[in-house]
Structure 1
């Protein structure tokens, strides 16, 4: 069964829960499934290495995951209007995949979480799209035909799915955030199917 890679870094659990909502949306498209993967943390001390398998959550991503997927979604918490270092570190390691065109013509979407409503969600989503464009991906967002995009009082943007964790750092997406993440997953899966059939 064709798979969409849902790749994320999550520290407090918000992005991981959003990733699962995207995966649910992908699974709602007949004949499609999601492959959840995470990126390992990075340390300021470069001699410190991450364990080969995470203690909990999705397994760490491997290069073959990028080869085998027909589309991908990447998610990261917002760090000062940009993706977190572990996701950036992983993307920076994809020189061979860029040179070989591994991701060319594959649809891609992005998602994030912030502590506050104006914590840089849209800047983060846009910054994650830039390297995907360099890899030749077809960027997929959330269109305004999704009614919740116009009424949400929490997260959700046309650039990708998002979550506002708030001052209490609540990792659970609101109903609107979860619905918009699933909608993004469905759209990504449908676009991936169409592109796969066309090639």
Structure 2
């Protein structure tokens, strides 16, 4: 089964962009169709110009596809990335999320698996708080949060953040990128399991014969 995953992120200096690419690679490795999308920059040029890294990445990202609410509707699963801003998501990502009110009202975000990742310059710069803050949005949506947890050694190697992959300093190192790939792969694999389970449950509801087929298929994959 092929699932559709949207990786939607904001990145100022490129650290979250690198994480987003790794998450997308992980989802693709599990057989997912992926849309990698950046959200719009809201900061004025005067602020961006004060940081050469910010200016360089902003210029380089100009050609990247920009996220839309349609991407949220299209996807079977969602991954959101943001730098931490005082322990909360960046305004750019929050502004994009705030556009999803209509889709949420119509039930278009209900039961979608979702995960999050972040980056902060300092080791204790608010990474966990930022991901937990995003989780408040996911609760309102009725989405299904899929954290990496402590489910693979790569999480420990990357610093041991069970809430979502996080990088510190100038950008993610090889261990953190591998953890991000794992997070994307885990999101896709769990989404496949959920959708296949729903399909099998629907088949079982058609009658006893279908139910027997479903049980057999489940046993073979357990």
Using the size of structure 1 for normalisation, the TM-score is 0.86
Q: 2:98 aligns with which of 92, 95, 105?
A: 92
Corresponding residue for 2:36? 36
- Alignment check: 8 A CA contact 1:23 1:33 kept: no
- Flag the structure with larger Rg: 2
1:105-154 residue CA offsets vs partner (Å, 9 max, x unmatched)? 1100000000010000000011011101211110011121311323435x
- Alignment check: 8 A CA contact 1:71 1:107 kept: yes
**SS of residue in 2 equivalent to 1:92:** helix
In structure 1, C-alpha distance between the alignment counterparts of 2:125 and 2:135, rounded to whole Å:
18
**SS of residue in 2 equivalent to 1:35:** strand
**SS of residue in 2 equivalent to 1:75:** strand
Corresponding residue for 1:83? 89
In structure 2, C-alpha distance between the alignment counterparts of 1:152 and 1:86, rounded to whole Å:
26
In structure 2, C-alpha distance between the alignment counterparts of 1:131 and 1:102, rounded to whole Å:
14
Corresponding residue for 2:209? none
Q: CA deviation at 1:198?
A: 2.6
**Structure-to-structure mapping, 1:1-199, within 5 angstroms:** 1-30=2-31, 32-43=32-43, 55-57=62-64, 59-153=65-159, 157-164=161-168, 166=169, 170-171=170-171, 173-199=172-198
**How many residues are treated as equivalent by the alignment?**
182
Q: Which structure 1 residue ranges, 5 or more long, are not aligned?
A: 45-53
**SS of residue in 1 equivalent to 2:185:** helix
1:136-186 residue CA offsets vs partner (Å, 9 max, x unmatched)? 110011121311323435xx511011111x2xxx23x21210111011101
Query: Which protein is richer in helix relative to its size?
Result: 2
Corresponding residue for 1:47? none
In structure 2, C-alpha distance between the alignment counterparts of 1:4 and 1:151, rounded to whole Å:
25
In structure 2, C-alpha distance between the alignment counterparts of 1:8 and 1:96, rounded to whole Å:
20
**SS of residue in 2 equivalent to 1:93:** helix
